[in-house]
Amino acid sequence: MNFFERQEQSRRSSRLLVVLFAVAVLAVIAAVNVVVCFVLAKAEERTLGYMPTVGEWMSTHTGTLLVTTLIVAGVIGLASLYKSMVLGGGGGVVARSLGGVRVSPDTTDPQQRRLLNVVEEMAIASGVPMPEVYVLEQERGINAFAAGHNPANAAIGVTRGTLTTLNRAELQGVIAHEFSHILNGDMRLNIRLMGLLFGLLVIALIGRTVLRLTEGARDSKKAWPVMLIAMAVLVIGYVGLFFGRLIQAAVSRSRESLADASAVQFTRDPTGLRNALVKIGALSYGSKIGNPEVEEVAHMLFAPGIGRFFATHPALEDRLKAIDPRFDPKEIDRVRAEMLLAEEQAKTQAAPKKSSAERLESLINVPGAAAVAGLVGNPSTIHMQVARDIRKSLPDAVVMAGRHPESARQLLLALALDPNPEARERQRQYITAQLGFHTADAIAQLQGSIDSLEPEQRMPALFTAFPALRQLTRDERLQLMSTLNGMLQREGRISLQSYVLRKLAQVQLKDEMSPAARTRQLPLSAVQKDVQVLFSVLAQHGHADGASARHAYEVGVHHLLPRQRPSFTAIPHWAQPLDLALSRLDQLAPIMKEQLVEALVKTVTHDQRLTLGEAELLRAVCATLHCPLPPLVAPTESN
């Protein structure tokens, strides 16, 4: 199953979740109405002299039932909405609720530094922004999670036990598992599940609160109907929550199995993930998390964080045999004995030192269009190695700038400057007017390091700065987006590379500020004009004559729209039309995006050559469409 199929499956699961939740809510409302009907009918028995039937009582008290229905539905809906709004702050909210402490980019803790390096390499290899990283310092068990609405506001959390117990390969396997949740669209589903389940839980909490408040009035005859209703609501609330947990477990198990398979595919080394799971089985405390909030996030965790009737994860042995069919359960006992013997010894494995990272080849073997589309959301071992090399090759000035909010903003603006000297000077004057001389001066000092970056280093430099950019206030981020737009208007002959990089930054900032924004899915027939703009702009850049550009355009668009396709049109002032086109094409269904990526590859490689600059431009365009491509290396592997 490729990235696009996984995205579509996630959408279907999300729709099914909403339907099941609606059924659970209706069941709770019906049950509460039955209880209210019975209790109030019983209370009227003395006045009427007989016990009215349910039908008789309902026919004369429809207003009461309507009010009850509205109250229960309103409570559930408002509680779910409240929880969803709280979680709108991103994955960091979930991490902090579990006692997570954000890992500073300047950390000197070797285990935290290793964790940051692994996450950063995975982000570079996946083509997504660097998520925030948290450590649950008080937790000894081996566990991790990824939370957020989208890659732009994602957070990855790991327990301290994960850092102290696992070696680098095992840690990489766990992080690859969590990145698969980021890439597969599982995080949004998990956040939505948390919000919906909270609505069901609130009904039970209300019943428990009312019972507590009426404890002093138990001898009063007038209090017993209220107490009986409260007790029934308490039971009904927990029954509703029971079925909610059942839904939670069912959704989680299928996604966890897929994440294990994706992690193995990402790293091409099943032993890391396999051995991490073996160590979980070998430890007496396994993957347990002691924080009382763990029940709410049980479906997000790498491994079960709490014992429960409905398992949120496949059985450990089943997961291990899916990864390694020859796995012998006796190995867990052997590893347990080894870990007991070495319990007091520090297990550190220094990564072998390497010389400066090898440069990617300036000319890449031309990959097949389907092969490149298959790489979306599916980085492999070679991409992880390239990502590690790129991370190590970034200039120190760039790395340091990306670690703190103010300098990260300066880094982003420096990356967004146009290469043309005259346009760049106009942009600097604009930045000075908007953000002050200090910011403009800091950008000028950073510019030498930015100009020395190779094409494959520019996206990683941008993405690694996002955790720091998220720490800017909302007003500061809005001002930053406004400044990026203003810079575009001051360019002369616009560079497509700098434009797309700037557009990518805006997309990620917008995703972070509006994580729950939903867009309708457009059919291909509704975006033909947008296809024409994107492919025309892509084709006319890098071609000295119109004939070559037209041929490149036709090759790609024919693949996407074989019957009725718009003709090639040179667009002199293309920035604004392209901005609109990318925004609309981002609303295509996942399966349509797969065809779009294949068509883009055909346009870029029409001359049977794929330069490094073209490859990185293709990656940047795909990233703005939320189709993250790993670095294209020679030879490109098919997944």
Number of domains in the chain: 4
Q: What is the mean pLDDT of residues 623-634?
A: 80
Residue ranges with strand state E in 55-168: 101-102, 132-136, 144-147, 155-159
Give the model confidence (pLDDT) of 285-298 as tens digits.
888 888 877 877 88
Residue 253 has which token pair? 């198990």
Of 134-138, 243-247, 384-388, 572-576, minimum mean pLDDT range? 243-247
Please list, residue by residue across 272-307, b when 16 or more beta carbons sit within 10 angstroms of its beta carbon and e when fewer do: bbbbbbbbbbbbeebbbbebeebbbbbbbbbbbbbe
Residues 216 and 68 in one domain: yes
**Residue 362 within any structural domain of the chain:** no
**pLDDT value for 102:** 92
In whole angstroms, what is the distance from residue 125 CA to residue 254 CA? 25
Give the model confidence (pLDDT) of 378-428 as tens digits.
787 788 888 888 888 999 999 999 999 999 999 999 988 888 788 888 888
How far is CA 129 from each of CA 109, 468, 616, rounded to the nearest angstrom?
23, 11, 15
Going by the DSSP 8-state scheme, the letter that residue 415 receives in this structure is H
Under the banding of pLDDT at 50, 70 and 90, the label for residue 356 is very low
Residues 544 and 619 in one domain: yes
Cβ neighbours for 419, distance < 8 A, ≥ 6 positions apart: 495, 498
Residues 401 and 454 in one domain: yes
Domain's final residue, options 495, 513, 531: 513
**pLDDT value for 366:** 57
| Alpha-carbon Rg for the chain in angstroms | 28
Cα 91 → chain centroid: 8
- Altogether, the residues listed in the chain come to a count of 639
pTM for this prediction: 0.70
Give the model confidence (pLDDT) of 100-134 as tens digits.
999 998 888 899 999 999 999 999 888 888 999 99
What single string gives the DSSP state of each residue in 573-590?
S-HHHHHHHHHHHTTB-H
Residues 553 and 493 in one domain: no
Residue 26 has which token pair? 């209706």
In whole angstroms, what is the distance from residue 172 CA to residue 273 CA? 8
Number of continuous H segments (helices) and E segments (strands) in the chain: 27, 6
Our CA angle for 281, 182, 387, nearest 5°, is 90
**Residue 54 within any structural domain of the chain:** yes
Catalytic residue among 120, 139, 178, 554: 178
Please list, residue by residue across 542-564, b when 16 or more beta carbons sit within 10 angstroms of its beta carbon and e when fewer do: bbeeeeebbbbbbbbbebbbeee
Residue 497 above 70 pLDDT?
Answer: yes
Q: Are 502 and 488 in contact (CB under 8 A)?
A: yes
Residues 566 and 418 in one domain: no
**Residue 363 within any structural domain of the chain:** no
CA nearest to 190, candidates 93, 123, 74: 93
Domain's final residue, options 513, 540, 560: 513
Residue 489 above 60 pLDDT?
Answer: yes
In whole angstroms, what is the distance from residue 612 CA to residue 631 CA? 10
Residues 85 and 99 in one domain: no
Residues 308 and 396 in one domain: no
**pLDDT value for 517:** 58
Domain's final residue, options 513, 531, 553: 513
What single string gives the DSSP state of each residue in 190-230?
HHHHHHHHHHHHHHHHHHHHHHHHTGGGTT-TTTHHHHHHH
CATH number of the domain at 274, please: 3.30.2010.10
In whole angstroms, what is the distance from residue 495 CA to residue 491 CA? 9
Residues 504 and 416 in one domain: yes
In angstroms, the first-to-last Cα distance of the chain is: 10
Work out the burial of residue 34: count CB atoms within 10 Å of its CB; fewer than 13 is exposed, 13-18 middle, 19 or more buried. Answer: middle
**Residue 630 within any structural domain of the chain:** no
In whole angstroms, what is the distance from residue 184 CA to residue 168 CA? 24
CA 322, 327, 331, 333 dihedral sign is: positive
**pLDDT value for 357:** 35
Q: What is the mean pLDDT of residues 369-382?
A: 77
Residues 220 and 332 in one domain: no
**Residue 349 within any structural domain of the chain:** no
In whole angstroms, what is the distance from residue 526 CA to residue 274 CA? 46
**Residue 21 within any structural domain of the chain:** yes
Q: Active-site residue 178, yes or no?
A: yes
Of residues 98 and 343, which shows the higher confidence score?
98
Residue 46 above 80 pLDDT?
Answer: no
In whole angstroms, what is the distance from residue 310 CA to residue 192 CA? 19
In whole angstroms, what is the distance from residue 149 CA to residue 186 CA? 9
Give the model confidence (pLDDT) of 206-233 as tens digits.
777 766 666 655 555 556 666 776 777 7
Residues 330 and 406 in one domain: no
Under the banding of pLDDT at 50, 70 and 90, the label for residue 4 is low
Residues 619 and 526 in one domain: yes
**Residue 292 within any structural domain of the chain:** yes
Residue 153 has which token pair? 């506001």
Cα 120 → chain centroid: 15
Our CA angle for 25, 73, 60, nearest 5°, is 105
Residue 440 has which token pair? 């403009």
Q: Which of 294-298, 478-482, 610-614 ranks highest by mean pLDDT?
A: 478-482
Report percent pLDDT > 70 for the chain: 81
**pLDDT value for 283:** 86
Residues 331 and 397 in one domain: no
In whole angstroms, what is the distance from residue 582 CA to residue 576 CA? 10
Its domain, for residue 288, covers 92-183+257-341
**Residue 357 within any structural domain of the chain:** no
**pLDDT value for 58:** 67
